[in-house]
Amino acid sequence: MAIKIRDKSIDIPIIQGAMAIGISNGNLAGAVANRGGIGTLTMVNPGYNEEDFYKNFIEANKRAFTKEVKIAREKSHGNGLILTNLMNVVEHKEEYLEFLDTQDIDGVIMGAGLPLDLPKYISEDKLIAPIVSSKRALRLIMKKWQAYKRKPDLIVFEGPEAGGHLGFKVEELDMDIFAELREILDFAKDIPVFIGGGFGTPEKIKKALEHGATGVQIGTGFLFTEESGLERNAKIEFLKNKDKYENTILKSPVGLPARGLLNNFVKKAREVNIPPKRCMACIKTCKRRDTNYCINEALINAVRGNIEEGLFFSGTDIKNIDELRTVDEYIDYLRSAYE
């Protein structure tokens, strides 16, 4: 099947969701694109392993991102699309977007807030896409984008079962996701709409397509593949002990609810504030002096496999995952939903 996204196309109805600080890396994004899907690189502190990260983090992030784009392009063999995700709430957002516009990527997806000025920084030869949680948010974004004579090239509607930051209040987590999808589809008209949050099985993909979605965004399913940047022993630990690490709603310094795994770090953060060791002033909405914890430090600990001190985002799909797969094996598992 071929799915048109403006002047580009993909062969499978799957976006690999971005996972911050090294998890959605070039190996993962490239492997998904190679199968004809959309691979998404993170632009949230990808330079965490660079030697000068704490002294010169903006340049370290740019340098590391360029490396990951090259890896993704090589692994994709010219198939699919390579996008990137930048959170709207990061500091230096404008500088990062101007940098991304120079990179060998097909476009930019933006969430964690309303990306009202995204078209200002990304040229028309690249795709632009918002992550939204409602028709209301989409309407606000598209109204602002009219000033730039742009509209979304695709839309990601992320529901409350997704891992990571959520665009919902806690009391809204039991929403009727397909009713909201219908509202978004009616408003979006001919724009492709991908739905995310608990859609990492063939059954759920089929249901999404039956309800009119162009495709699905999957994060957690790809988190537990060999190619994702999460340290391998951590992947195995969480899959072997799913009953121990409850999937739960977390409090984030970003100022949004989030979904992840209940480990000792999360339990401690619910009781006391954990002072940052090195504040990099990376998030606009973080209350740095009295923050609950440093999300940058917690996510770096996570990608390195520090189960005791890391923050591990995960959606509800973890309940459906029993083993590590390669990206190819996982996509083969999903194929029955759309072929």
- What is the edge-to-edge ordering of all strands in the sheet holding 164-165? 164-165, 257-261, 247-251
Q: What is the pLDDT of residues 5-25, one digit of tens each?
A: 999 999 999 999 999 889 999
In this prediction, residue 251 has a pLDDT band, given cuts at 50, 70 and 90, of: confident
Domain identity same for 44 and 69: yes
Question: Is residue 251 one of the residues assigned to a domain?
Answer: yes
Answer for the pair 195, 218: CB distance below 8 angstroms, yes or no: no
Cα distances (Å, whole numbers) of residue 32 to 9, 221, 222, 289: 14, 12, 9, 40
Q: What is the pLDDT of residues 132-146, one digit of tens each?
A: 999 999 999 999 999
Total number of domains constituting the chain: 2
Place of tokens 């959309």: 38
Q: What is the pLDDT of residues 38-76, one digit of tens each?
A: 999 999 899 999 999 899 999 999 999 999 999 999 999
> What pLDDT score does 129 carry?
97
> What pLDDT score does 283 carry?
62
Question: Is residue 235 one of the residues assigned to a domain?
Answer: no
Domain identity same for 45 and 163: yes
Question: Is residue 276 one of the residues assigned to a domain?
Answer: yes
Domain identity same for 76 and 216: yes
Domain identity same for 272 and 162: no
Domain identity same for 119 and 260: no
Q: What is the pLDDT of residues 80-103, one digit of tens each?
A: 999 999 988 777 889 999 999 999
Domain identity same for 21 and 119: yes
Residue 284: is its pLDDT beyond 70? no
Q: Which domain holds residue 254?
A: 242-316
Q: Quick one: tokens of 286?
A: 């973080």
Alpha-carbon span 238 to 207, nearest angstrom? 27
Question: Is residue 180 one of the residues assigned to a domain?
Answer: yes
pTM greater than 0.85 (yes/no): yes
In this prediction, residue 280 has a pLDDT band, given cuts at 50, 70 and 90, of: low
Domain identity same for 44 and 90: yes
CATH of the domain at 118: 3.20.20.70
Domain identity same for 55 and 203: yes
Place of tokens 């520090």: 306
Alpha-carbon span 186 to 188, nearest angstrom? 6
Question: Is residue 224 one of the residues assigned to a domain?
Answer: yes
Average pLDDT, the chain: 91
> What pLDDT score does 279 carry?
64
Q: What is the pLDDT of residues 160-215, one digit of tens each?
A: 888 887 776 766 667 789 999 999 999 999 999 999 999 999 999 999 999 999 99
Alpha-carbon span 289 to 138, nearest angstrom? 33
Answer for the pair 132, 167: CB distance below 8 angstroms, yes or no: yes
Domain identity same for 92 and 222: yes
Question: Is residue 237 one of the residues assigned to a domain?
Answer: no
Domain identity same for 94 and 13: yes
The full DSSP string for 82-150 is: EEEEEETTBTTHHHHHHHHTTSS-SEEEEESS--TTHHHHS-TTSEEEEEESSHHHHHHHHHHHGGGT-
Q: What is the pLDDT of residues 288-335, one digit of tens each?
A: 667 777 788 888 899 999 999 999 999 999 999 999 999 999 999 999
Domain identity same for 198 and 248: no
Alpha-carbon span 191 to 194, nearest angstrom? 10
> What pLDDT score does 126 carry?
97
Domain identity same for 146 and 255: no
Question: Is residue 296 one of the residues assigned to a domain?
Answer: yes
Nearest alpha carbon to residue 140 among 74, 88, 178 = 88
